[in-house]
Amino acid sequence: MKVTVKCFSQVKYALGTDDLVLKLDIGTTTEILEKVIREKAGGKLDGVSLRVAVNQKYVPENTELNDGDEVAFIPPVQGG
Amino acid sequence: MIITPQELQNWKDKRKSFRVLDIRPEKQRKDFPLNGLNPVIADADSIPKIEIETVLICQFGIITEGIILEQDLDSTFSLLGGAQAWETFQTEKQDLSRWSRQTVLPEIGLEGQKRLLNSTVAIVGMGGLGCPVAQSLVSAGIGKLKIIDGDKVELSNLHRQPLYGVEDVGRMKVEVAKEKLTLLNETAMIKSSEEYLNDDNGIDIISDVDVIIDATDNIQSRQLIDRFSKAASVPMIYGGLYRYEGQVAVLNANGSPGYSDLFPEPHLEVTRVLMQVCWVCCRE
C-alpha cells in the first residue's frame, strides 16, 4: 500500500522535503512508519518528539495505516 | 467626514444648528428609530445641498461614508456606526461606534463587542507573538489585558516586535508595551507584570482571566502555562513557530486536550541557535 507523509518544521528540514510517498506493507502502523522516518532523517530527529495525525486527525499511538492515508508528523515548536 | 454618537450628542447639548438626513429604507427606520434627532428622510442619490452642517445616517455608517466621498459633499458628516450605534448610545450610554467596522459583522455584532469589552485576557510573553496579539486585542476592544514578561527590549527584537522602537532598547518590554497599547485604546485597562511566569506567580496572574495566550518562546513555559490553565479551568491559546511555519491551538477549553496531552513526552533539547532561527521568522 502507499501512504503520503506530510513533513512539518524539523521533520521537513531533516528530510529535505515537504512530503513523500512511501510504499509500506499492509498492517504497517504509525509507530513503524515513525521509525522509518527517523531512520531517513539520519539522526536529525533524535530527541524530537513527534505527534502523529492521519488524514488530518490526531491519532493514538500505533494506529494501523490504510492504503491512501495521509500521515503528518508534527513536532512541537517553540519559537515565539 | 465622520462624527461619533458622542460628538453628535455634544452638538445637541450645545444646541448647535445642524440637520439630520436619514437615507435608510422604511423597515430600518421603523426598527431603529433615531430617537432625539428629528431626521428628515432623504434619497441617497440626491442629497439636497444647503448651507448648514448635515449628518447623514444609514444603518451601519458605511453607505453614508461612501456617499459623502462620491458626491463630494461639504460640511456633511457620516454618523460612525450609523443608526445601530446611535441606538446603543441612547439606550445604554455606551459609544461603540469606534468598533462599527467589526460590529457590522454578524459573528460579532453589538453583543459580541460588549462581551469583548467585558473580557480579560492574559498574554504571557511580549515578543514576536505577544506584540501583535496585544495590539489586535486592545484595538478590538478587550476590556482588560494582562501582559507578563520579564524581558527587556533589545535591538534584535525590533524587526518583528512592532510595539518597540530604538528609543525603547533597554527598557522593560511590558512597560513600553503598556504605553503603546494605551495609545491604541485609552479605555482598555492594561496591567503589566515585569516578571516571568513561574510556579509562585502563575495562579495569581491567570486566575481572573477569561483566556490565557501562550506567546512564549520555549516549551518549558508552555508546559507551565498548560498546568495553570488546567488548574484554573481557563482556556489557553497556544502559538508557536518554526522558521516559516506556525502552530496554533485552543487548549483546555471545555474539556478539550491540553498541551501535555498533545505533546506528552518530557521535552527535547532544542538548541539556543535553533530558537534564534525561529525568532527570525516569528512575525509569520
pTM attached to this predicted model: 0.85
A78·B278 Cβ contact <8 A: yes
- Looking at residue B284, its pLDDT comes to 38
pLDDT, tens digit, for every residue of A61-74?
Answer: 899 999 999 999 99
pLDDT tens for each residue of chain B, 284 residues long: 999 999 999 999 999 999 999 999 999 999 999 999 999 999 888 887 777 899 999 999 999 999 999 988 889 999 999 999 999 999 988 899 999 999 999 999 999 999 999 999 999 999 999 999 999 999 999 999 999 999 999 999 999 999 999 999 999 999 999 999 999 999 999 999 999 999 999 988 888 999 999 999 988 999 999 999 999 999 999 999 888 889 999 999 999 999 998 887 555 444 333 443 344 444 33
Computed over every residue of chain A, the mean pLDDT equals 94
pLDDT, tens digit, for every residue of A1-50?
Answer: 999 999 999 999 999 999 999 999 999 999 999 999 999 999 999 988 89
- Looking at residue B251, its pLDDT comes to 96
Complete domains list, chain A, with CATH: 2-74 (3.10.20.30)
3-state secondary structure chain B: CEECHHHHHHHHHCCCCCEEEECCCHHHHHHCCCCCCCCEECCCCCCCCCCCCEEEECCCCCHHHHHHHHCCCCCEEEECCHHHHHHHHHHHCCCCHHHHHHHCCCCCHHHHHHHHHCCEEEEECCCCCHHHHHHHHHHHCCCEEEEECCCECCHHHCCCCCCCCHHHCCCEHHHHHHHHHHHHCCCCEEEEECCCCCCCCHHHHHCCCCEEEECCCCHHHHHHHHHHHHHHCCCEEEEEEECCEEEEEEECCCCCCCHHHHCCCCCCCCCHHHHHHHHHCCCC
Say what the ipTM of the complex is. Answer: 0.82
B222·A78 Cβ contact <8 A: yes
Residue B263 has its nearest CB partner, among A8, A13, A49, at: A49
Query: Is residue A75 scored above 80 in pLDDT?
Result: yes
B270·A78 Cβ contact <8 A: yes
A51·B262 Cβ contact <8 A: yes
Nearest chain B residue to A57, by CA? B262
